[in-house]
């Protein structure tokens, strides 16, 4: 069942695919932005001769987002991070998708990230006596974002 008119997606049903493989134990995705330059073009109106400023779309900008996931033994995710951090860009650049799903796990919206790679990793603090799950926060940069 798709979303009914007036319904909205919920923030708790999402996934991340990297080169078609779903990333497991995903807790959060945030900071996803799409931006482009704005070109201001001052001109005089041909009818009135008065000054106007037209606004035109410029170059698209690259972007980034942050992913928080449970710390696991995922060898493929760890290898991707290591490739990125060690500058092995031929294997580090991957296509990724952030997938938003309805309540029946049907994909409704996709944010496709072209040539994505890890630029930063931040492991959660470890503390004697603490019983919380360990996480890693990964900053993903990408060259292009296409929304489907």
77 belongs to a structural domain: yes
Q: Does residue 1 surpass a pLDDT of 60? A: no
Q: What is the pLDDT of residues 57-85, one digit of tens each?
A: 999 889 999 999 998 888 888 899 999 99
Domain count, the chain: 1
pLDDT attached to residue 8 = 80
- Sequential DSSP letters for the chain: --PPTT----TT-EEEEETTEEPSSEEEEE-----EEEEEEEEE-TTT--EEEEEEEEEEP-EEEEEEEE----HHHHHHHHHHHTT-HHHH-EEEEEEEE-TTS-EEEEEEEEEEEEEEEEEPP--TT--SPPEEEEEEEESEEEE-
Range of the domain at 117: 14-147
Q: What is the pTM of this model?
A: 0.83
Q: Does residue 147 surpass a pLDDT of 80? A: yes
pLDDT attached to residue 146 = 93
Average pLDDT over residues 114-137: 94
Query: φ, ψ for residue 40 (rounded to 5)?
Result: -95, 130
pLDDT attached to residue 98 = 95
Mean pLDDT is lowest, of 69-73, 89-93, 128-132, for: 69-73
Average pLDDT over residues 108-115: 94
104 belongs to a structural domain: yes
CATH of the domain at 36: 2.30.110
pLDDT attached to residue 31 = 92
88 belongs to a structural domain: yes
5 belongs to a structural domain: no
76 belongs to a structural domain: yes
Q: Does residue 133 surpass a pLDDT of 60? A: yes
18 belongs to a structural domain: yes
Q: Does residue 4 surpass a pLDDT of 80? A: no
Q: Is the dihedral of CA 141, 60, 22, 24 positive or negative?
A: positive
100 belongs to a structural domain: yes
2 belongs to a structural domain: no
In this structure, the chain runs to a length of 148
Mean pLDDT rounded to a whole number for the chain: 91
């Amino acid at each position: 069942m798709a979303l009914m008119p007036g319904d909205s997606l919920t923030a708790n049903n999402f996934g991340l695919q990297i080169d078609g493989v779903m990333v497991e134990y995903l807790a959060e995705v945030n900071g996803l932005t799409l931006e482009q330059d704005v070109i201001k073009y001052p001109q005089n109106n041909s009818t009135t001769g008065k000054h106007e400023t037209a606004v035109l779309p410029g170059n698209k900008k690259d972007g980034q987002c942050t992913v928080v996931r449970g710390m696991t033994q995922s060898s493929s995710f760890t290898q991707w991070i290591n490739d990125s951090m060690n500058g092995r860009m031929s294997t580090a650049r991957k296509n990724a998708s952030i997938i938003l799903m309805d309540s029946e796990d049907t994909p409704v919206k996709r944010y496709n990230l072209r040539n994505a790679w890890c630029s930063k990793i931040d492991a959660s603090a470890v503390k004697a006596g603490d019983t919380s799950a360990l996480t890693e926060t990964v900053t993903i940069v990408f060259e292009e974002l296409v929304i489907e």
